[in-house]
Amino acid sequence: MEFCPKCGAVMFPKGDIFECRNCEHTTKATKESMSEYEISEKVESKDSIIVTSDEIQTLPTAVVKCPKCGNKEASWWLIQTRGADESETRFFRCTKCSLTWREYD
């Protein structure tokens, strides 16, 4: 597996180069580095799969109105930003325009 020397992200083979999908840095591929990769449609149960896409949604969503675009769906998560005796901060990210905002209790 190749890692980007600039940002540390996983680099993927593309023709005869390795390309970072995060910062677009490229590195010339060698025979040794390319021999580690095999592109296959069939996935064995022991294989590891790395999925890199901005389209994968792993956060829960809620019905809440975006203050920027008016969309009524946003992903949300909680983070303890204040003292342990105070409630968490709720963060929302609009599923349409990606605006991120927070709510306190």
Mean pLDDT (the chain, rounded): 82
- Is 47 part of the annotated catalytic residue set? no
| In a shared domain, residues 2 and 43 | yes
pTM above 0.85, yes or no: no
Q: Which residue range is the domain that position 70 belongs to?
A: 61-103
**Options 24, 86, 88, 103, the catalytic residue:** 86
- Total number of domains in the chain: 2
Residues 65, 94, single domain; the answer is: yes
Q: Is 90 annotated as a binding residue?
A: no
- 23 carries a ligand binding annotation: yes
| Same domain, residue pair 39 and 1 | yes
pLDDT tens figures, 26-51: 888 776 665 565 555 666 666 666 66
Confidence tier at 89 by pLDDT (50, 70, 90): very high
33 shares its domain with 65: no
Do 39 and 80 have their domain in common? Answer: no
Beta strands at 89-94 and 74-79: parallel, antiparallel or unpaired:
antiparallel
85 is catalytic: yes
pLDDT of residue 12: 82
Q: Does residue 83 share a domain with residue 44?
A: no
- How confident is the model over 54-77, as pLDDT tens digits? 666 788 999 999 999 999 999 999
Q: Given 16, 41, 54, 85, which residue is catalytic?
A: 85
Statement: residue 18 has pLDDT above 80: yes
Of the candidates 2, 34, 32, which has an alpha carbon nearest to the alpha carbon of residue 15? 34
- Residue 35 assigned to a binding site: no
Are residues 46 and 66 located together in one domain of the fold?
no
In a shared domain, residues 33 and 75: no
